[in-house]
A and B are shown apart, each in its own frame.
Chain A
Amino acid sequence: MANSKLIVWMTWVIMLIVFGVLVALFSLSVGATNITGDQLVSFFINPDTASSYYNILLNIRLPRILLGFAVGSALSISGVMLQGMFRNPLVEPYTLGISGGAALGVCINIALRLNRTIGLISVPVSGFLGAGCIIVFVYFLSMHKGVLKMQGLLLSGVMVSFICSSLFMLIMALMRIEDLHGIIFWTMGSLDQPSWFLIKCMGILSIAGLLGAYIFCKDLNAFSLGQEHAHHLGVNVSRTKKFLFILTSLLTGCSVAVAGVIGFVGLVIPHFVRLFVGGDNRILLICSYLAGGIFLIASDAIARTIIAPLELPVGVITGIIGGIIFIYALNRKRAGV
């Protein structure tokens, strides 16, 4: 009984890993300079540091793929955690305004030039603080007499998101021209991150995020029945919620800090993964993690090639795909929202 479920789950995980490797290889080969499969294979067998491919592959495309996976997976499991806690399939870092808050934090950081005085590490920290403030704010806005009101949640999230982007524009208007270029990058989302240090941080955080979230996967399953019932199953509801809120803020804040606002990954991926593997968070978390990473690598490959040699910000691609799916899901689930 139990084993057949495990086998099905393992199959999904293995399929996603294989698919992920294929997408990563595809993404390595396409771009302004196309690298054929043969060349890619010979590169792996005998890396020639002198060739021009070496530079493109290792210093331009590989970092993007790693960052794409780290950010996509982090946003995706943030979506799973938020959806699990709020019991609403439409919440995710972007629709709750958490991404907007993180972007605002990063923007203030740059406007005050903290990244130059304190160091690069202050960028993800300010993203985390921005995300954390918004998550707490939205949560208390939608609490009514100690009960979380779902109707208000999405609405207040969208409004908070709106306020954040207005403040964002206000800061941009007051800024010096030379800082402006660095800020615009964050509004659209791009995996073009020059700092290896931040990419490594993001990679470690994304894996740590999955492990941290996985410890609470059974609690999230219990949450799917509602907080009161989770409580009756022995879950320390307030402690779990606090931990997951911090984890989500950390993952979203840092993702925004290194790659800008990339919307809807946390919505689209869990939604689709749930269709295939079901709502059990024990498998949903892992599959969403993998699929989120793959989705962002693929979106980035599209963004780089669709109007080559020009490059679209990847946030545009995820925004268009995600927005359409959001509207579709909203219409289908209207009764539940």
Chain B
Amino acid sequence: MLQIENIRCGYKEKIILNDLSTTFEGKKIAGIIGPNGSGKTTFLRAITKALPLLGGRIILNGKDIALMSYKEIAQYIAVANSDIEASFDISVEDFVALGRIPHQQPLQFFENDYDWGKIEQALRLTDMTSFRKRQLSALSAGERQLAIIAKALAQEPKLLLLDEPVVHLDIAHQRHILDLIKRMHVENDLSVIIVLHELNLAAEYCDELRLFEQGRVFASGTPEEVLRKQMIETIYKTEVVMAKNPESGKPCVFICAKQRKLK
């Protein structure tokens, strides 16, 4: 569905992704993990053509994205970035309605019934219906993240990209949002690529993981295959303790304070 072939990508001063190749097949939740600066966010930007490639190519559903219009890409891929901020006051409902833009004709200025159906559905799925008239700026961080996901769902994507959707959220919200994503994935046949910093959440929710290091995919596979003590310690340069989640059996990564060890 999404093949990334030897891409080179980055900014003027610095190449971030160097000769990166990986393939996402089938309907799965794929997690991207890796240390800060390993190119996770840049990778997401490259997939949506927000950042031009300096080499290599990206094939989306059999088509080279370089040959696809932005609109075509947006009809297929939705991005739910948590750094979103509207410059003017906008209600949740109007915000979610923006997600319909890629599906509207150039001279279609107003949402039609089909658009409204999708907007309603997205609000319902994210439990945001009662917030629809509220201003986006007045929402709490958790509600805001739900609104952002609702907008992405209104976009009717086949592939959803999320960049750290649960950062700065408490565990209740973390679980709520990741459960929601998992449910969307199962019920709506949605593929998901999700950047996560929290390794234990990545292990719990993702079907497969890509471990990034210095602009390359260092390891890929199931959480059990990727989250191994030696691998984590090499990449993150930090000693860790591994265990298994007693409920789900997924791998867990613990860090221990240095002071304690010295004793």
Contact = CB atoms under 8 A, between A and B. Distances in A.
Nearest to A214: B109
A142 interface: no
A225 B101 contact: no
Contacts of A221: 98, 101
Most buried by A among B70, B81, B94, B109: B70
Interface of A: 1-2, 6, 87-89, 145-146, 214-215, 217-218, 221-222, 224-226, 228-229, 231-237, 274, 278-280, 282
Chain B interface category by residue count = 35 or more
Contact of A229 (B69, B84, B89, B109): B84
Interface string B22-50: 00000000000000000000000100111
B106 interface: yes
A225 B94 contact: no
Nearest to B80: A232
9 contacts: A145-B12, A218-B104, A225-B87, A228-B50, A232-B48, A234-B72, A234-B102, A280-B94, A282-B110
A124 B71 CA distance: 36
Contact of A225 (B11, B49, B98): B98
B86 to A, nearest CB: 5
Contact of A235 (B70, B78, B155): B70
A234 B70 contact: yes
Contacts of A282: 109-110
B227 to A, nearest CB: 30
Contacts of B99: 233
A297 B229 CA distance: 75
B85 interface: yes
Interface of B: 11-12, 45, 48-50, 69-75, 77-79, 81, 84-90, 93-94, 98-99, 101-102, 104, 106-107, 109-111, 116, 155
B88 A146 contact: no
Given A2-B116, A145-B12, A217-B109, A233 B102 contact: yes
B110 A222 contact: no
A220 B49 CA distance: 20
A235 B101 contact: yes
B79 A232 contact: yes
Contact of B81 (A88, A145, A229): A229
5 A-B pairs closest in CB distance: A234-B74, A279-B88, A234-B102, A87-B87, A234-B71
A278 B95 CA distance: 13
A229 B163 CA distance: 13
Contacts of A214: 109
B79 A88 contact: no
B110 A231 contact: no
Contacts of B79: 229, 232
A41 B93 CA distance: 47
A232 B90 contact: no
B74 A224 contact: no
Contact of A234 (B75, B88, B93, B110): B75
A211 B93 CA distance: 26
A222 B42 CA distance: 21
Contact of B48 (A222, A231, A236): A231
Contact of A218 (B11, B50, B77, B101): B101
A2 B88 CA distance: 20
Contact of B101 (A2, A145, A222, A226): A222
A19 B71 CA distance: 40
A268 B218 CA distance: 55
B81 to A, nearest CB: 7
Contacts of A234: 69-75, 101-102
Contacts of A233: 74, 98-99, 101-102, 155
A87 B110 CA distance: 22
B25 to A, nearest CB: 23
A216 to B, nearest CB: 10
A274 B73 CA distance: 32
